[in-house]
Amino acid sequence: MTDTLNGHKRYFVENTWYAAAWETELDDNDGRMARTICETPLVLYKTENQGYVALDDRCCHRAAPLSIGRVEGNCIRCMYHGLLYDPSGKVTEIPGQSNIPSSMKVRSYPLCSKGGMLWIWMGDPELANEDDIYHFEPLSQPDKWRGFDKGDYLHYDANWLLIVDNLSDFSHVAFVHTNTLGGSEDYAYNTIPENIEKMDNGFSMERWDKGSKAAPFHAKVIPQDELDNPLDRCNITSMYIPGIFLMETIFAPAGWDAEKNDRSLCREYRNCQFMTPETRNKTHFFWDYLHGFDLDNPDISKSLKASLLEGFMEDKLFIEEQQKLLEESPDFVPRFIEADEAFAHFRRIWDHRLRAENEANPLVQKENKKRIL
């Protein structure tokens, strides 16, 4: 959390792409929905031309929520007094009034779709470049990977960085997920992060567990006669600003030659998790888990979804309890261990970006002399 020159605080990096919603979420909500991101109430809606729009979710007239409005073609109408907004946020119609002042508008935000996910840019729109979005290719490769029928969503009553922290150190898998995703507490003792790469926008690493049994979630979707076969398990993970987690998981026969990289006898998974701050203490969590074998068997996706959700709820318990304790003890100072290396790097680059944005564009607290309340 970085202070600006005038004492006001910027809590979130703004010039970055945040996961905003799965496309299917809008489809399930008549083409429009409310979502708060970085403490900013937004309305997201789908246009007649199949594009997507994000606007401040407050009509400029009396702050009525546009998210309970009506989509009309490429526009959205406030259903309180009937003001009609175009995709740029400009009011184009006021029932019973011919003159429309140029001040009648709300802010619009760059919003685009990749892989079925809608991505939003909360900062300077001139800096928004869609090529900077981390496109997770498996979501767009149904011939190679099968995921859920719809990307899934969870809501955390916790700061998103606690979830980033959780995913940055997989030693917790051994203890939190012994009977779901991990399989044994030995995982924490027998594996260490390897090939950690620290980047200016995140980090990547891999973790091997050699000669192990099939993890519980994997054991449920492989033939029974393979359950006792020892495996080499590898998780290759990447974490990018602001909270984009991508993982490649390989289950190979024990003794597999990683340098030759012949994956014909391997079973593989791909995992994406996107953490987006709703507020400083609440988080939107989007995820999908895809498998690259037996693509015609829908039961595998169903089993994986149930297993991963069970594991996530185990995480959620710890993370939300962490949040409560941290709120009750603001003077708590964490002690670091070696496994924190990747997350510590992530926090450093996050804080650096916050400082840079504050220096380039300090927040100014303006007095509102025309408040309704």
> Which pLDDT tens digit goes with each residue over 229-240?
999 999 999 999
Q: What is the mean pLDDT of residues 200-222?
A: 93
Q: Residue 134: pLDDT band by 50, 70, 90 thresholds?
A: confident
Q: Residue 7: pLDDT band by 50, 70, 90 thresholds?
A: very low
Q: What is the pLDDT of residue 367?
A: 78
Task: For residues 25 and 42, give the distance between their C-alpha atoms in angstroms, rounded to a whole number.
Answer: 14
Q: What is the mean pLDDT of residues 213-239?
A: 94
Reported as a single tens digit per residue, the pLDDT across 284-335 is 999 999 999 999 999 999 999 999 999 999 999 999 999 999 999 989 998 9
pLDDT tops 50 at residue 5:
no
Task: For residues 291 and 50, give the distance between their C-alpha atoms in angstroms, rounded to a whole number.
Answer: 29
Q: What is the pLDDT of residue 6?
A: 43
Q: What is the mean pLDDT of the chain?
A: 93
Q: What is the pLDDT of residue 368?
A: 79
pLDDT tops 60 at residue 1:
no
pLDDT tops 60 at residue 196:
yes
Residue whose tokens read 């490429």: 74
Q: What is the pLDDT of residue 2?
A: 42
Cα–Cα–Cα angle for 285, 203, 37, rounded to 5 degrees: 30
Reported as a single tens digit per residue, the pLDDT across 50-101 is 899 999 999 999 999 999 999 999 999 999 999 999 999 999 999 999 999 9
Query: Poorest-confidence range of 158-162, 190-194, 201-205?
Result: 190-194
Greatest extent of the chain over all pairs of C-alpha atoms, in Å: 77
Residue whose tokens read 């709120």: 327
In this structure, the strands spanning 267-279 and 282-291 are antiparallel
Torsion angle of alpha carbons 223, 225, 229, 234, nearest 10°?
A: 0
Residue whose tokens read 């029928």: 149
Q: How many CA atoms lie within 13 A of 215 on its CB side?
A: 29
Q: What is the pLDDT of residue 9?
A: 76
Helix and strand tally (H, E) in the chain?
7, 20
Q: What is the pLDDT of residue 371?
A: 81
Report the Cα 138 to chain-centroid distance in Å.
16
Q: What is the pLDDT of residue 364?
A: 75
pLDDT tops 80 at residue 369:
no
Residue 362 preceded by cis peptide, ω within 30 = no
Q: What is the mean pLDDT of residues 275-292?
A: 98
Q: What is the pLDDT of residue 243?
A: 97
Q: Identify the structural domains of the chain with CATH numbers, from first to last.
A: 9-131 (2.102.10.10), 134-355 (3.90.380.10)
Q: Residue 339: pLDDT band by 50, 70, 90 thresholds?
A: confident
In this structure, the strands spanning 9-10 and 202-212 are unpaired
Q: Residue 4: pLDDT band by 50, 70, 90 thresholds?
A: very low
Q: What is the pLDDT of residue 3?
A: 42
